[in-house]
Structure 1
Amino acid sequence: MADFMMRYIQAGQTSVANYLLDHFREVGMTTDQLLVYLQLRRQMDRGEQLPEAESIAESLGWDKQRVYQLLHEMIASKLMMITSVTNAQGQKADTYDFRLLTEKLSQLDVQTVQKEVKQEATSDRSTVFNQIETEFGRPLSPLEMESISQWLDEDHYRPELIQLALKEAVLSQAYSLKYMDRILLSWEKKNLKTAAQVQREKERQEPRRSAASGNASQASSQIPDVPIFKLTDN
């Protein structure tokens, strides 16, 4: 057992990114190409910068020509390339370079994020349409749908802000996109871009409104009662 553990440790380890194992098919790599890649990495980690096809074939139990074909396919598919490196002694040597594979994986991640963002935006748009139709109690016309799309795409109003404007319109019993548009424009002039900012502005204005209402009530109470005389009385 001790001898086995010694050989096990001396054989070393090859580290492979789980992200590659999860997505190798999505970047155009076949299962056979992945096996070749793993064998290449294994030998390169041991110091062989350009492992021989014969050695790879022997490790996999394949024909040498099959390995040559797979290596050619991986280079043609831009999964790897052969570059020159300079060793510690100043000598140049060829090696397999997998930066192209890493770049493909990074682009895949960007595409995934973009797809998720697009799906989320589509979902938000549908939610806004559905909520307005529900509150208005009728389907939206094509012109109304275009107006709402302009709020989202051109004016860049957040869905939460449009939903808040809808709430304000419903409270005022004004079931109209024009009324909502006036609300949104008033918020835009005040540079209020989120529902939280609108709420804070309301809280800031509330004391002023309460004070104004109180002053109006007080002024009304100070008006003296004027007796009404009948001009016909003698």
Structure 2
Amino acid sequence: MNSQDRLRIWIEQGNVSISQLFFSSYRQVGIRDLDALLVLQLMSFAEEGQGLPGPSDLAVRMSLSEEEIGHGLQRLMQSGLLTIERTMDDKGLLNENYSLQPLWTRLVDVQVLGCSGKEEENRQAEEGEIFAMFEQEFGRLLSPMECETISMWFDQDGHSADLIKAALREAVIARKVSLRYIDRILFEWKKKNIRTVEEAEGEARNFRGQSQPSRHAAGNETKRKVPFYNWLEERD
């Protein structure tokens, strides 16, 4: 193979362009070295028109196992740096692609606004605790979609970690531990301008009081000791 053939192959493979800001600042937003390489691979797949590569696709190019790659993707999503973007094509079909826009925004914020690395670490530690609590209650790792939902509670809905913990506790009491149920709880609280754990607990006690069975009914239902409010039922 001559030098011209080598040059042609090099050009045909295309290039992946990335800001120097990524290399100089990714540690400040809590990205590990291996996860930084994962980001580069996601960009490479996107350039090739594959916007949602799975762990098996990524494992072909990396020296990591599919499980390790899955954990890396989960870390990026739990940190709010990677999301799944959904769009409709001309035929009305749903397309899903990874989006690194939150990462680029965070990097610029660190550079321009001077967000300290310590503040970022504290924020990520707080959010990481929430993800760990959900995984413990679910008894398994969270899926990318579940990670995205929880991240949206923080980033888009503006819920605090303490309020999300309170909603999770309500779901556990109701024995309805699902993201849909917890999302409904948070929606109801936001609609009523409930922002603190104390306000949320007061609201929950109020609804539990309303749902207490009568003495006659209680005598027939001794097994049910903890009444709960079904947040999925619409109430005025």
- TM-score, normalisation: structure 1: 0.45
Higher helix share: 1
Bigger relative contact order, structure 1 or 2, given CA contacts below 8 A and separation 6+? 2
Relative to the length of structure 2, the TM-score reads 0.45
- Structure number with bigger Rg: 1
